[in-house]
A and B are shown apart, each in its own frame.
Chain A
């Protein structure tokens, strides 16, 4: 791997939520949503965060944009520490980091027309001079994401789910961002629409040299879209590396079970019982001691209970496991 330019990185990023009782009084219990995550996002790549619900992937994605304030740790964007940036400084950063949300029904204001939805970021950041230029830019963006510019005065409810997602993408693209955080952008869509949106995202990436942080639980989608994958379990990184290598030869036991759990499209490849992970996802309030995956892991030994595995470099990959699969 050649030296590549880091666009965004995190150092020891942590988010803990204090639980409160029904009177609003703080209890001693703490939800460990994300614990000590350090990773780099390189310029022009797609890095995917995968994991099951509650693993902290969305929290991590939002923390990188400072939509959620981290409890601990730092975020660097284009070499600058943005963790302590003021609101006005962040506005400049938001020109370069944008987000696409999961639910295209909830993320668009139903009382705004397409013109206003896509035009809003342009107005806020005053990037276009005059009404005509703004209109032209809105139409250009609509064309880019495959919505007929004549529909500029329609409301979101007049569009289907896939088209709404396209509007959401146009809105994110409006300011020519460097990084787009895509939080489950295709999980609410039908299969035939999902592939259209995935291809659109790929095309846009090539055209505008975009960097994606792609958050998803769908391993098929992740394989298709990403250059590198970061597998998370209960707020921690299990494994991070090149997509092809991880899918071919997972080193962390959790990654392997996750991959085997996906129902295969070939009816002749029957899933075997020993390939199915037993047990439930442990609670983030009282995560298991040592390795957080150990209660479900068939390979766990004593050391997994006593000592938390450090993340270590194995070839091109980083793995947090005492007994990585060979």
Chain B
């Protein structure tokens, strides 16, 4: 269990735009352990999706990985040629996206799309074998009438079924790591619960590690064992889910948790004042300090590092520097 499957070290992803450089991912280090589910949480623009896209090598044009390394099973993905990388992607690492309709090909039957992924990475497999495997995988992800659905097009399926097809495709080659980028955000609550349950079940049965990118803290609480909270391109807090939900340290994480209505009390919701900073003009010092209710003069001058508040629990805030403590 303690084996590190993916190790992102000091990753820097920059977008070179006409207005200037946007450091979407600014020195992020993340570890994902074998068979474990790790959540990456943050609001839009915090760099969580861009971290995943950097791992997958799917960054679009003005974006580029500028520094750092991504170690997967002992190899550095950033040092590989695209050809070498393609052997790993979709095979050892696969990804599912938020909107299943836009990531499926609308003019190809869903069965053929999944079969294609399978044949690409298994050259010796015959088409008939692949077909059987696809139908099996459809059954595994709980698609009713799997054989009939094989020949249907994406628009004939509901959102929940489409996401199941995406999961079947991602799991077709038995990946070691599954990156899920907001997999249930576009779905209804009852369908979301079904999909999360399915993912959990597959993860436990196959021992696949999952990197769950989400903005929903409830999903993290239910699904993940480890958590990274990101803000404006940096990791602000990391640790086990148990630890962070019990002893939240960073003012941003705390504010985020208190901003979510919890269906229990009607007490006035906490507001994090202000809004997410413009990535072109980041504040000096701590990126969160203009919105932070504990900010001190020092926060506006220097940038805090990650301090270890408790064993394995790291916080990027001066309040948790070793000598001082809270």
- Per the bound structure, the CA–CA distance linking A195 and B217 in Å amounts to 14
Stretch at the interface among B72-80, B87-95, B187-195: B187-195
- Per the bound structure, the CA–CA distance linking A202 and B267 in Å amounts to 12
For A52, list chain B residues within 8 Å (CB).
188-191
Structural contact, A264 and B218, CB atoms closer than 8 A:
yes
Nearest CB of chain A from residue B75's CB, rounded to whole Å:
33
Q: Which single member of B215, B222, B268 contacts A263 (CB below 8 Å)?
A: B222
Q: Is A270 close to B, CB under 8 A?
A: yes
For A270, list chain B residues within 8 Å (CB).
222
Nearest CB of chain A from residue B276's CB, rounded to whole Å:
7
Structural contact, A219 and B263, CB atoms closer than 8 A:
yes
Q: Which single member of B43, B189, B268 contacts A258 (CB below 8 Å)?
A: B189
Q: Is A309 close to B, CB under 8 A?
A: no
Q: Is A247 close to B, CB under 8 A?
A: yes
Q: Is B204 close to A, CB under 8 A?
A: no
From 254 to 295 in chain B, residues with beta carbon under 8 angstroms from any chain A beta carbon are 255-257, 259-263, 266, 268-272, 275-276
Q: Which single member of A193, A198, A273, A276 contacts B190 (CB below 8 Å)?
A: A276
Q: Mark A265-307, 1 if CB is under 8 A from B, else 0.
A: 1110011010111101100000000000000000000000000
Structural contact, B221 and A264, CB atoms closer than 8 A:
yes
Structural contact, B275 and A193, CB atoms closer than 8 A:
yes
For A95, list chain B residues within 8 Å (CB).
none
Stretch at the interface among A29-37, A71-79, A96-104, A220-228: A220-228
Q: Is B161 close to A, CB under 8 A?
A: yes
6 residue pairs bridging A and B, Cβ less than 8 Å apart = A192-B276, A262-B263, A263-B216, A267-B221, A270-B222, A273-B197
Q: Mark A6-38, 1 if CB is under 8 A from B, else 0.
A: 000000000000000000000000000000000
Nearest CB of chain A from residue B211's CB, rounded to whole Å:
18
- Per the bound structure, the CA–CA distance linking A262 and B188 in Å amounts to 10
Structural contact, A192 and B216, CB atoms closer than 8 A:
no
Q: Is B300 close to A, CB under 8 A?
A: no
Structural contact, A224 and B193, CB atoms closer than 8 A:
no
- Per the bound structure, the CA–CA distance linking A261 and B191 in Å amounts to 8
Q: Is A66 close to B, CB under 8 A?
A: no
From 172 to 211 in chain B, residues with beta carbon under 8 angstroms from any chain A beta carbon are 188-194, 196-197
From 236 to 265 in chain B, residues with beta carbon under 8 angstroms from any chain A beta carbon are 241-242, 245, 255-257, 259-263
Q: Which of A195, A220, A260 has the most CB of B within 10 A?
A: A195
Q: Is B59 close to A, CB under 8 A?
A: no
For B21, list chain A residues within 8 Å (CB).
none
Structural contact, B190 and A258, CB atoms closer than 8 A:
yes
Structural contact, B197 and A224, CB atoms closer than 8 A:
no
On whether A267 and B190 interact (CB within 8 A), knowing A192-B43, A198-B261, A273-B197, the answer reads no
> What is the size category of the interface that chain A forms with chain B?
35 or more
Q: Mark A191-221, 1 if CB is under 8 A from B, else 0.
A: 1111110110010000000000000010111
Q: Mark B9-37, 1 if CB is under 8 A from A, else 0.
A: 00000000000000000000000000000
Structural contact, B188 and A257, CB atoms closer than 8 A:
no
Structural contact, B221 and A266, CB atoms closer than 8 A:
yes
Nearest CB of chain A from residue B244's CB, rounded to whole Å:
9
Structural contact, A199 and B222, CB atoms closer than 8 A:
no
On whether A280 and B158 interact (CB within 8 A), knowing A192-B255, A262-B263, the answer reads yes
| 5 cross-chain pairs, A with B, having the tightest CB-CB distances, nearest first | A263-B218, A224-B261, A52-B188, A195-B259, A190-B43
Q: Is B233 close to A, CB under 8 A?
A: no
- Per the bound structure, the CA–CA distance linking A259 and B193 in Å amounts to 11
Q: Which of B215, B222, B242 has the most CB of A within 10 A?
A: B222
On whether A262 and B218 interact (CB within 8 A), knowing A199-B271, A219-B189, the answer reads yes
Q: Which residue of A lies closest to B44 (CB)?
A: A190
Q: Which of A195, A263, A275, A276 has the most CB of B within 10 A?
A: A263
For B190, list chain A residues within 8 Å (CB).
52, 257-258, 261, 276-277
On whether A263 and B219 interact (CB within 8 A), knowing A258-B189, A277-B190, A281-B188, the answer reads yes
